[in-house]
Amino acid sequence: MTISPKLLKGGIVLIDPETAKVQRIIALQYNPDSLSRTLQVQGAGEGGERSEALRLRGPAVETIKVDAEIDATDAMELGETIVGELGIHPQLAALETTIYPSSAQLESNNALAQSGTLEILPMETALALFVFGKNRVLPVRLTDFSVTEEAFDPNLNPIRAKVSLGMRVLSVDDVGFMHKAGSLFMSYLQQKEAFGAKAQGGTLGTLGLTGIP
């Protein structure tokens, strides 16, 4: 008998940035078919001194784009109560509320404003981690979020949708070394370096060279 390996799912984990306590786990229903990453080099020599041409100001700015699907068809066939009542509203809301301050935070800030508080700090959200296998646990900020609802039940609850997520990896340049996101980023970078060291190197001959001119 052949035993199929357990299929891991990608997703987002929300943690408390101070204690690292897990607040919520959002697993994607289906893993995306592709994952797009862009790395923007932070060169020090951009329009600067010639002596700075090979220097870097900091880590590359990495952005990630993921398209995922959510479908309630199987759950509806199994007669799941919540899906029958609300479709995929709960799954969409779980993702969407990651980019909102909570209603309690909004009400608290409104109360401070009404009482005459002169300076109200921006509201801090949970730290989001994009998890795509054990080798990729990245501290991120969601920068883009779009939803295309494609099918509805008789009560107009969405039952199928495509979700597009844009994320920016948070580095030590963004949060410093002492922040939990900073330590997670350093682990990610050190892991990249370890992976790179395992890559098989080439030879000058492979490139058609006998030496550096």
pLDDT by residue (tens digit) across 113-124? 889 887 888 888
Q: Is residue 175 part of a domain?
A: yes
Q: What's the Rg (C-alpha) of the chain?
A: 23
pLDDT of residue 130: 97
Q: Is residue 208 part of a domain?
A: no
Band (pLDDT 50/70/90 cuts) for residue 49 is low
The length of the chain is 213
State how many domains the chain has: 1
For the segment 165-171, the average pLDDT, to the nearest whole number, is 97
CA 85, 86, 90, 91 torsion-angle sign: positive
Query: Which of 151, 138, 179 is CA-nearest to residue 20?
Result: 179
Whether residue 127 is predicted with pLDDT greater than 60 in this model: the reply is yes
Q: How large a percentage of the chain has pLDDT more than 70?
A: 94
pLDDT of residue 44: 79
Band (pLDDT 50/70/90 cuts) for residue 139 is very high
| Both structure tokens of 59 | 């880590």
- The pTM of the full predicted model, rounded to 2 decimals, is 0.87
Whether residue 197 is predicted with pLDDT greater than 90 in this model: the reply is yes
Band (pLDDT 50/70/90 cuts) for residue 129 is very high
| Both structure tokens of 184 | 């997670």
For the segment 198-208, the average pLDDT, to the nearest whole number, is 89
Residue range(s) defining the domain that contains residue 185: 11-45+55-106+122-189
Q: Is residue 162 part of a domain?
A: yes
Neighbours of 183 (CB within 10 A): 16
Q: Is residue 206 part of a domain?
A: no
For the segment 80-92, the average pLDDT, to the nearest whole number, is 92
Q: Is residue 115 part of a domain?
A: no
Q: Is residue 209 part of a domain?
A: no
Q: Is residue 1 part of a domain?
A: no
pLDDT of residue 120: 81
Q: Is residue 111 part of a domain?
A: no
